[in-house]
Chains A and B, each alone.
Chain A
Amino acid sequence: MKCLVVDDSRVVRKVARRIVEDLGFACDEAEDGQKAYEACLQAMPDAILLDWNMPVMSGIDFLEKLRALPGGQTPKVVFCTTENDMAHIQRAMTAGANEYIMKPFDSDIIKSKFSQIGLIEG
């Protein structure tokens, strides 16, 4: 199972990588939506942990482009962002996100969300 961690913060990517690797995923990183999109064109990951606000291409723009791709419905997408209001959550879910994490997060939250959408055993 492969997880793509998309966040413009190297620190967040490092923390997230450790958590998803502990959950048994092989991890790739992308620093913005454009890089994530290019990675997905190469090979669709099983899971994507996705920040919202990033330079070049935002998380929500990436998600909309991803879902329009052939095979772009396959990855389970979990937003992971400081945006914590209902309007953002609704917009993300409408665009095809599978789950939504409001930062700050810890391993319990990622584990709980991943298991809810069937990425890992509960």
Chain B
Amino acid sequence: MHISNFDLYRDLLKEKSGLTLTPDKAYLIESRLMPIAKKWGYTSLDNMCMALRGVPDPNLIKDIVEAMTTNETSFFRDTKPFDLFRDHILPAMMKDRASARKIRIWCAAASSGQEPYSLAMLLKEKGAALANWQIDILGTDISTDILETAKRGEYSQFEVQRGLPITMLMKYFEQKGERWIIKDDIKKMVKYQYFNLLDNMAALGRFDIVFCRNVLIYFDKETKGEILGRIAKQMAPDGMLLLGGAETVMGITETFKAVPDKRGLYMRADSPALASTSAATAVK
């Protein structure tokens, strides 16, 4: 791709979304916009650029901005939430549900699948300890295109290197040319389904763990509170909610409370488990 064309995409994104594209992210243009170019019948990104320099179709611009802005994700994104899942959430759930042996997990913005598959890999690492458990992971997203990508579980060399330890790549992926495909035993642990967070959640059922990271930022304050309120209704009383690093419930809803000393982790305000942790913290 010509440098001048990189500049065009960078300026377009800045103007339409406020997203800043630095040169070391140039690979994102390639991997994300080639499918858009194909969809619109352009043989290359340089060709698509010529169209953009003329009078471009507003829908083409919409497709490009959507492809570049949403779905920013990686395996084990931000690391900490997954450490929390492995070291705190999962042990607590395995203790509390030792008789029912059932855990339901919801990734509310599953995107191209990295988050649910990261959780599935961590579950797999538990090995025999979870052998007779029924663990469901539901991944939902508002983009049907991205859900198809998630279902394929096929990733580029760049994607499998951001956040994913090499030992996990060796264990849980198969190589096909330049692509890396998540193995079937991990793939079949996750179900994907289209879902808009503004829709009625009742049909999704009840969850023990909800990952809802970096998606509420797209909504205004009132809608955020309303969505969180409805998520709370879908959660077990001792269920655990993970929000993105820059997100909070403070000043947005009273239905969730932050778990002390566990950044990003929330429980229902009426949770008996939270009452006992607060008491423990107070005593300390």
Contact status B170-A106, CB under 8 Å: no
Question: What separation, in Å, do the CA atoms of A86 and B175 have in the docked complex?
Answer: 7
Bound CA–CA A85/B169 (angstroms): 11
Q: Which of B158, B161, B167, B175 contacts A85 (CB 8 A)?
A: B175
> Would you give the shortest CB distance from A22 to chain B, in whole angstroms?
12
A113 touches B170 (CB 8 A): no
CB neighbors of A among B145-173 (8 A): 157-158, 161-163, 165-167, 169-170
Q: Are A112 and B161 in contact (CB under 8 A)?
A: yes
Residue numbers in A under 8 Å from B88 (CB-CB): none
Interfacial residues of chain B within 1-58, with CB under 8 A of chain A in the complex: 24-25, 27
Per-position 1/0 for A70-103, Cβ under 8 A of B: 0000000000000011100110010000011110
Per the bound structure, the CA–CA distance linking A116 and B166 in Å amounts to 10
Is the Cβ of B27 less than 8 Å from the Cβ of A100? no
**In the complex, are the beta carbons of B79 and A99 less than 8 A apart?**
no
CB neighbors of A among B161-204 (8 A)? 161-163, 165-167, 169-170, 175, 178
Q: Knowing A90-B170, A107-B24 touch, does A122 contact B79 (C-beta < 8 A)?
A: yes
State in angstroms the CA–CA spacing of A46 and B74 once bound together.
27
Q: In the docked arrangement, what's the CA distance between A122 and B83, Å?
A: 11
B162-A108 in contact (CB<8A) = yes
Cα distance A25–B170 in the bound complex, in angstroms: 28
The proximity string for A residues 12-44 relative to B, scoring 1 for CB distances below 8 Å and 0 otherwise, is 000000000000000000000000000000000
Does A102 lie within 8 Å of B24, measured CB to CB?
Answer: no
Contact of B24 with A84 in the complex, beta carbons under 8 Å: no
Q: Report the interface size class on chain A.
A: 20 to 34
B79 surroundings in chain A (CB, below 8 A): 115, 122
Give every chain B residue within 8 A of A107 (Cβ-Cβ).
24
A106-B24, A107-B24 are contacts. A100–B80 as well, Cβ < 8 Å?
no
Say whether A109 faces chain B, with CB atoms less than 8 Å apart. Answer: yes
Contact present for A112 and B157 (CB under 8 Å): no
B6 to chain A, nearest CB (A): 15
Give which listed residue, B24, B166, B178, contacts A93 with CB less than 8 A.
B166
Cα A116 to Cα B25 in complex, Å, equals: 21
Indicate if the CB atoms of A89 and B166 lie closer than 8 Å: yes
With A115-B79, A122-B80 already in contact, the answer to whether A93 and B161 are too (CB < 8 A) is: no
Q: How far is the CA of A118 from the CA of B169 in the complex (A)?
A: 18
Closest residue on chain A to residue B25 by CB atoms? A106
A87 — nearest CB in chain B belongs to which residue?
Answer: B175
> Of all chain B residues, which has the CB nearest A15?
B24
- Chain A residues, CB < 8 A from B175: 85-86
- Of chain A, the residue at the smallest CB distance from B168 is A116
Query: A84 and B27: CB pair below 8 A?
Result: no
* Bound: A105/B158 CA distance, A: 8
What chain A residues lie within 8 Å of B74 (beta carbons)? 112
User: Interface residues, chain A, CB within 8 Å of chain B?
Assistant: 84-86, 89-90, 93, 99-102, 104-109, 112-113, 115-116, 122
27 residue pairs A–B, Cβ–Cβ below 8 Å: A84-B157, A84-B178, A85-B175, A86-B170, A86-B175, A90-B170, A93-B170, A99-B166, A102-B157, A102-B161, A104-B27, A106-B24, A106-B25, A106-B27, A107-B24, A108-B24, A109-B158, A109-B161, A112-B74, A112-B161, A112-B162, A112-B163, A113-B161, A113-B166, A115-B79, A122-B79, A122-B80
- Chain B interfacial positions (CB closer than 8 Å to A): 24-25, 27, 74, 79-80, 157-158, 161-163, 165-167, 169-170, 175, 178
| Among all A-B residue pairs, the 3 with the closest Cβ atoms | A100-B166, A106-B24, A122-B79
> Given A90-B170, A122-B80, 16 more contacts at CB 8 Å?
A84-B157, A85-B175, A89-B166, A89-B170, A93-B166, A99-B165, A100-B166, A102-B161, A106-B24, A106-B27, A108-B162, A109-B161, A112-B74, A112-B161, A113-B166, A116-B165
